[in-house]
């Protein structure tokens, strides 16, 4: 039997995370650094650590829509759907002209089967940014689910016009 014996080695250290942790230690009240650290935790697939960091950033800068956007991403990684929706809603509220926040709010509503709310968010995204092909594409899906075939077809065609990959 060639079974490997368990090792007592510590887990691999992510140098990006370690460098950012040191920067945050030196500047603990810098929301931008906290967002970067949280994003690094997300890339490292550690939603729990990311959530802690994004929550601290939200306490320091509660009016920053990017903080709430990333907080929502962490909730998504942890399958905490209602909190994800609330955080995306806050990001969209704080920056009503941010199409990506509206788009992600729509996706969050779709996850829990709230198609009316999803459609409203996708519609806002394409109103803000008319060339947002992905938002048109997903809006076409929601409209099809709701039985709005003509409107669905319009947004499907617009998505394909904007991005040939959607044909």
- What's the pLDDT band for 140 if we cut at 50, 70, 90? very high
Q: Rounded distance, CA 51 to CA 48, Å? A: 5
pLDDT at 13: 75
pLDDT in tens, 14-70: 889 999 999 999 999 999 999 999 999 999 999 999 999 999 999 999 999 999 999
Distance of CA 10 to the CA centre of its chain: 31
pTM flag (> 0.95): no
Domains of the chain in sequence order: 15-79 (1.25.40.10), 96-167 (1.25.40.10)
Identify the sign of the CA torsion 40, 45, 47, 52.
negative
Contact predicate 128/119, CB 8 Å = no
Cβ contact 33:60 at 8 Å = no
The CA distance from 115 to 119, in Å, is: 6
Torsion of CA 47, 79, 106, 99, to 10 degrees: 0
Q: Decide: 125 and 133 in contact? Cβ < 8 Å.
A: no
């Amino acid at each position: 039997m060639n079974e490997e014996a368990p090792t007592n080695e510590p887990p691999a250290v992510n140098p990006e995370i370690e460098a950012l942790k040191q920067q945050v230690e030196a500047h603990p009240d810098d929301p931008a650094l906290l967002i970067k650290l949280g994003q690094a935790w997300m890339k490292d697939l550690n939603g729990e650590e990311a959530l802690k960091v994004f929550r601290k950033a939200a306490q320091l800068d509660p009016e920053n829509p990017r903080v709430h956007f990333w907080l929502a991403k962490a909730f998504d990684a942890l399958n905490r759907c209602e909190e994800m929706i609330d955080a995306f809603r806050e990001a969209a509220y704080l920056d009503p002209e941010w199409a990506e926040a509206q788009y992600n709010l729509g996706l969050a509503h779709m996850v829990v089967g709230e198609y009316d709310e999803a459609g409203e968010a996708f519609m806002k995204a394409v109103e803000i940014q008319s060339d947002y092909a992905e938002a048109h594409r997903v809006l076409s899906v929601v409209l099809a689910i709701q039985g709005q075939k003509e409107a669905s077809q319009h947004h499907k065609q617009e998505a394909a016009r904007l991005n040939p990959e959607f044909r």
